[in-house]
């Protein structure tokens, strides 16, 4: 089965979630990946490590801005010409906006937030994560062409494959597709950005005040993690709003989410419950967050965090 995987680039690098999408595609067929915008040949060839055999590269710089309409047009065109019956992408806000349009143009059936490999024993059935990860739906895709947007952490990242061949591909771009332009942008500060982070250390009202955030930042630094917080913390301006995690903030899907002094209200959990592992540190053994945790430490954050940080520093040295 021939599978086309759309890979998202950030500053010319393949996003980790897109590498997972390649690994997902490789588990069901032979993967051709598609990259739009500027990236080096070496970077694109590294898609082979995750299971792609070749990468089609439409390098036009106008695609660097990640605009929805040109992406939908180019992906639809390549999906039609590639002979692939399945298009796979990582679920993201860009992919959500793009693949719906591609599905309409291609007459494909679409499943988003897919959390497991398809069951092909009787048709083509995928599991979709719904209700912010609290439930799953089995969806049967019956059309010849199918589009799957894969939830982060749905599949083990495959590495160690060969390098992929990279082919420059030209698609004629219509100026009319570029009617919307990003004229300026501001990036959140920090070495590791929250939505893409593999590890997040997040603090809540239990930390008592912004002056105590050094403990969170130290632990984040040790682990190469991004920092997050609960809504009241950002509402009180203890932390910037782009760190607010939850239903009304950033939704994260890291491999590891460490919640410190956060009670675990349902609105906070809605933003974190697709994390692979959740560690909760709270002095109240009855804090609701412990029910969602894989590991928990009942203790005072002001005692636990410095000790945990020292132990991790030693272990990781
Ligand atoms: C419409 C709506 C949308 C919302 N959206 C969001 C959202 O997106 N994200 C979000 O986070 N919230 C959201 N909320 C708010 C949410 O309901 C909670 O009020 C909020 O998550 C609580 O934040 P918190 O856990 O930091 O504070 P608290 O509920 O005050 O909990 C603090 C926790 O810290 C623990 N603690 C105290 N001292 C220590 C210590 N020394 N060591 C260890 N633990 C300690 C306490 O035991 C407690 O569990 C929303 C609410 C509404 C109504």
- 284 within ligand 1 shell (Cβ under 6 A): yes
**CA 232 to ligand 1 center in whole angstroms:** 7
Candidates 229, 234, 262: which one to mutate for ligand 1, based on the most atoms within 8 Å of Cβ? 262
For position 260, what pLDDT does the model report?
Answer: 98
Q: 183 falls in which pLDDT band (50, 70, 90)?
A: confident
**Rounded CA separation 164/41 (Å):** 10
Taking the C-alpha atoms of 57, 60, 62 and 65 in order, what is their torsion angle to the nearest 10 degrees? 20
Q: Which pairs count as long-range contacts for 210-217, CB under 8 Å and 24+ apart, including other chains?
A: 210/237, 210/238, 210/239, 212/302, 213/238, 213/239, 215/260, 215/301, 215/302, 215/305, 215/306, 215/309, 216/260, 216/305
For position 139, what pLDDT does the model report?
Answer: 97
State how far Cα 8 lies from the chain centre. 10
247 Cα nearest atom in ligand 1: 8
Calculate mean pLDDT across residues 11-19.
Answer: 93
289 Cα nearest atom in ligand 1: 49
Which is nearest to 114 in space by CA: 292, 315, 99, 159?
Answer: 99
Calculate mean pLDDT across residues 95-112.
Answer: 96
Non-local (6+) Cβ contacts of 35 within 8 A are: 7, 9, 14, 44, 47, 55, 56, 57, 58
Element (H, E) at 45: helix 41-45
For position 165, what pLDDT does the model report?
Answer: 97
For position 240, what pLDDT does the model report?
Answer: 94
- Is the confidence at residue 155, as pLDDT, over 90? no
- Is the confidence at residue 184, as pLDDT, over 70? yes
State how far Cα 154 lies from the chain centre. 10
- Is the confidence at residue 258, as pLDDT, over 90? yes
Calculate mean pLDDT across residues 276-304.
Answer: 97
Calculate mean pLDDT across residues 260-280.
Answer: 95
Q: 185 falls in which pLDDT band (50, 70, 90)?
A: confident
- 205 within ligand 1 shell (Cβ under 6 A): yes
For position 69, what pLDDT does the model report?
Answer: 95
Q: What percent of the chain has pLDDT over 90?
A: 83
Between 189 and 69, residue with greater pLDDT:
69
For position 189, what pLDDT does the model report?
Answer: 67
Average pLDDT over the chain, rounded to an integer: 94
**Rounded CA separation 193/64 (Å):** 19
For position 192, what pLDDT does the model report?
Answer: 75
Edge-to-edge strand ranges of the sheet holding 125-130: 135-140, 125-130, 109-114, 146-150, 86-90, 2-7, 30-36, 52-58, 165-168
- 251 within ligand 1 shell (Cβ under 6 A): no
- Is the confidence at residue 272, as pLDDT, over 80? yes
Query: Domains in the chain and their CATH numbers?
Result: 2-178 (3.40.50.620), 194-316 (3.40.50.1220)
User: What are 31's two structure tokens?
Assistant: 């993967």
pTM given for the model: 0.79
For position 191, what pLDDT does the model report?
Answer: 66
CA distance to 77, 82, 226, 228, 268, per residue, from 233 (Å): 46, 49, 16, 10, 12
Which residues is 168 bridged to in the sheet? 57
Q: What percent of the chain has pLDDT over 70?
A: 99
**CA 264 to ligand 1 center in whole angstroms:** 6
Between 292 and 158, residue with greater pLDDT:
292
Q: Locate tokens 């945990």: which residue? A: 308
- Is the confidence at residue 190, as pLDDT, over 70? no
Candidates 204, 250, 266, 302: which one to mutate for ligand 1, based on the most atoms within 8 Å of Cβ? 204
For position 122, what pLDDT does the model report?
Answer: 93
């Amino acid at each position: 089965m021939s599978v086309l995987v759309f890979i998202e680039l950030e500053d010319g690098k393949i996003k980790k979630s897109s590498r997972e999408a390649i690994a997902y595609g490789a588990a069901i067929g032979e993967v051709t990946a598609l990259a739009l915008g500027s990236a080096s040949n070496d970077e694109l060839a590294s898609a082979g490590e995750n299971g792609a055999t070749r990468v089609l590269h439409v390098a036009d710089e106008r695609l660097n801005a990640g605009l929805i309409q040109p992406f939908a047009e180019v992906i639809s065109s390549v999906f039609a010409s590639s002979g692939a019956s399945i298009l796979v992408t990582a679920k993201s806000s860009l992919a959500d906006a793009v693949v719906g349009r591609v599905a309409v143009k291609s007459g494909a059936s679409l499943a988003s937030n897919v959390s497991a490999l398809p069951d092909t024993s009787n048709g083509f059935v995928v599991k979709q994560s719904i209700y912010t990860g609290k439930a799953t739906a089995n969806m049967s895709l019956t059309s010849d062409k199918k589009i799957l947007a894969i939830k982060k952490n749905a599949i083990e990242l495959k590495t160690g494959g060969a390098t992929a061949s990279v082919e420059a591909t030209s698609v004629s771009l219509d100026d009319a597709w570029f009617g919307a332009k990003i004229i300026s942008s501001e990036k959140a500060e920090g070495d590791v950005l929250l939505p893409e982070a593999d590890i997040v250390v997040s603090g809540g009202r239990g930390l008592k005040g912004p002056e105590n955030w050094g403990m969170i930042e130290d632990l984040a630094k040790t682990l190469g993690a991004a920092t997050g917080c609960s809504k009241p913390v950002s509402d009180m301006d203890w932390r910037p709003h782009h760190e607010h995690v939850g239903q009304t903030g950033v939704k994260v899907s890291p491999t590891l989410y460490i919640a410190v002094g956060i009670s675990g209200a349902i609105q906070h959990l809605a933003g974190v419950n697709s994390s692979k592992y959740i560690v909760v540190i709270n002095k109240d053994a009855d804090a609701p967050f412990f029910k969602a945790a894989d590991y928990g430490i009942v203790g005072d954050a002001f005692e636990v965090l410095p000790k945990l940080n020292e132990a991790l520093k030693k272990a990781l040295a």
